[in-house]
């Protein structure tokens, strides 16, 4: 008899009900996205599980493959006020023409884990294919540094790109922001803060299955694969500094809390239809459009959270990333410069 995959073994230890429940969840997964890894879900519930998850993400980052001709370099943004020195990772292709567009990228990880290295593959691809500068932010993480520390770091990185635009060879009119998962949520709040600040214009926001609404942690419903309701509740509590509550009123704490979305930069939102963040992503896209903000929403059938990272060889996931890159190219790539 063949041994069960580790994740299935864990579920079996918890009882047959766990396996039955997971099989029902997997029924909605596109066949090409099914693998033993989809039996496992990240379950954050405290410091011990957080440290284990952080180690796993660090190991995954090492396996990233850089696009040819792109060599990342570290830059340091000096400390300012209560903010410590900030590291950003810069990606540019050796043939990039100046001035080019730029993307400030914010990695995912539920606001509590992750590093710029986990985005090496995508960031270097964007730099190579679009001929733009990509700046990935090594922002502070909760619970050690709750809101607004991470957002402050992202804003500092955006300011740094604008302030050093001439030196970096960047067109200030073609500076976009983007991120995946928690990074997408931070990018959305960064777009709001930049709009209100008025001195660091953003031309586009690229939101990959973004974590937009802390109120999702208050809602019940069927669980999701990979990023679960339990993890979402714990992560939001760590970031906000208190359990998610209907009374959260701090500006920029949660992108979906903002009432007036008018005047924000155009957006692309991509999410799977079985992702925990599906409903909040679709709702935010609808509200942007209603406020007069151009927003291209793409929903991938049968896609769970971060499926393109777990199953990068699946044709649907290659297409999902192609759509993301194409949307960014239209906003800040060489063709955008020509059209402008």
**Residue entry with tokens 């009432």:** 259
Residue 181 annotated in active site: yes
Residue 297 buriedness (CB in 10 A; 0-12 / 13-18 / 19+): middle
Do the Cβ atoms of 317 and 323 come closer than 8 Å? no
The one catalytic residue in 181, 231, 254, 316 is 181
The 3-class SS string of 83-112 reads: ECCEEEEEECECCCCCCEEEEEEECCCCCC
Assign 270 to helix, strand or coil.
strand
The one catalytic residue in 138, 153, 213, 275 is 275
Short-list 18, 63, 70, CA closest to 41: 18
The one catalytic residue in 93, 162, 278, 305 is 305
Residue 231 annotated in active site: no
Residue 275 annotated in active site: yes
Burial 10-20 (b: 16+ CB within 10 A, else e): ebeeeeeeeee
Short-list 184, 187, 204, CA closest to 278: 184
C-alpha 14/C-alpha 174 separation (Å) is 52
To the nearest 5 percent, what fractions of the chain are helix, strand and coil?
45, 15, 40
Sign of torsion over alpha carbons 31, 34, 35, 36: negative
- Total residue length of the chain: 340
Pairing of strands 133-137, 86-91: antiparallel
Short-list 326, 320, 286, CA closest to 303: 320
The residues annotated as belonging to the active site are 181, 275, 305
């Amino acid at each position: 008899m063949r041994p069960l995959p580790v994740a299935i073994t864990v579920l079996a230890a918890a009882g047959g009900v766990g396996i039955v429940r997971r099989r029902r969840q997997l029924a909605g997964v596109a066949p090409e996205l099914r693998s033993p890894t989809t039996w496992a879900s990240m379950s954050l519930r405290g410091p011990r599980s957080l440290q284990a998850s952080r180690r796993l993400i660090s190991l995954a980052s090492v396996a990233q493959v850089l696009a040819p001709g792109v060599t990342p370099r570290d830059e340091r943004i000096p400390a300012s006020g209560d903010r410590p020195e900030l590291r950003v990772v810069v990606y540019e292709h050796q043939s990039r023409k100046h001035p080019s567009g730029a993307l400030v990228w914010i990695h995912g990880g539920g606001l509590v884990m992750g590093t710029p290295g986990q985005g090496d593959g995508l960031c270097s691809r964007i730099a190579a294919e679009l001929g733009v500068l990509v700046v990935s932010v090594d922002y502070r993480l909760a619970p050690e540094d709750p809101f607004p520390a991470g957002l402050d770091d992202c804003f500092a990185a955006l300011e740094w790109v604008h302030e050093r635009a001439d030196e970096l060879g960047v067109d200030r009119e073609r500076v976009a922001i983007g991120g995946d998962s928690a990074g997408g949520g931070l990018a959305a709040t960064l777009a709001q803060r930049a709009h209100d600040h008025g001195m660091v214009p953003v031309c586009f926001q690229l939101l990959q299955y973004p974590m937009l609404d802390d109120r999702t942690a208050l809602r019940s419903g069927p669980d999701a694969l990979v990023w679960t309701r339990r993890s979402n509740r714990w992560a939001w509590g760590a970031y906000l500094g208190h359990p998610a509550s209907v009374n959260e009123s701090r500006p920029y704490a949660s992108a979906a809390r903002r009432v007036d979305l008018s005047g924000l930069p155009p957006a692309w939102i991509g999410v799977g239809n079985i992702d925990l963040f599906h409903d909040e992503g679709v709702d935010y896209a609808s509200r942007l459009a209603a406020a007069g903000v151009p927003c291209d929403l793409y929903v991938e059938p049968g896609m769970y959270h971060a499926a393109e990272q777990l199953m990068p060889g699946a044709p649907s996931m290659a297409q999902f990333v192609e759509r993301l890159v194409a949307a960014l190219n239209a906003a800040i790539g060489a063709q955008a410069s020509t059209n402008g």
